[in-house]
Amino acid sequence: MKIIAVGRNYRNHAMELNNPVPEKPVIFLKPDTAVLKDNKDFYYPDFSKDIHYEVEVVLRICNEGKHVSRKFAHRYYDAIGLGIDFTARDIQNQHKEKGLPWELAKAFDHSAVISPLIPKEEFDDVQNLSFSLRKNNNIVQEGNTKDVIFSFDDLIVFISQYITLRKGDLIYTGTPEGVGSVQIGDSLEGFLQGNSMFTCTIK
């Protein structure tokens, strides 16, 4: 299982970080050791002083696919969840300034919170899903999948041109505006369509 993550897929989020709005999806990977599930605590790593939350809708791939055509793209994911792409923003900014890859800022252990996954048939319209993140019971991020730059199908088509999709892979589809830092003692809770999907305490 691999985690394929999408950067800058919401216009306002790209703008809040002073990044250009992409013309093609921005893709990076996280290893399976990044997964943090079952509402487990997140332990603040000692290599960063600026860990940020980024709440994202997550797709689970259900078929192996390479060069997937757009008309069949919807057949390649069967479940939807919610997650957090934890980012060491200080390390990311240092690497961006030097033109270096983002992996140390994005792919570290337990940097990918994942909720239980819900069969996509249980949603009326996957391209109109509201989601949010609360930090210490205050809403800090709100988004809707209708506002993505690249739709779920667009992402599957694009990614599969370069990387073979395999059953069980997860695609983190991007975060809306409102990202920010976490501190030890903070409590995070993610909501999808108004339903609580995960909790995570920063230790």
**The pTM of the whole model exceeds 0.85:** yes
Q: Domain of 80? A: 3-201
Q: How many domains would you assign to the chain? A: 1
pLDDT digits 0-9 by tens, 102-142: 999 999 999 999 999 999 999 999 999 999 999 999 999 99
CATH number assigned to the domain comprising residue 100: 3.90.850.10
Query: Could you tell me if 175 and 13 are in contact, meaning their C-beta atoms sit under 8 angstroms apart?
Result: yes
* Distance of alpha carbon 53 from alpha carbon 70, whole angstroms: 31
Q: Nearest CA to 128 among 137, 120, 119, 116?
A: 120
Over range 7-33, report the average pLDDT: 83
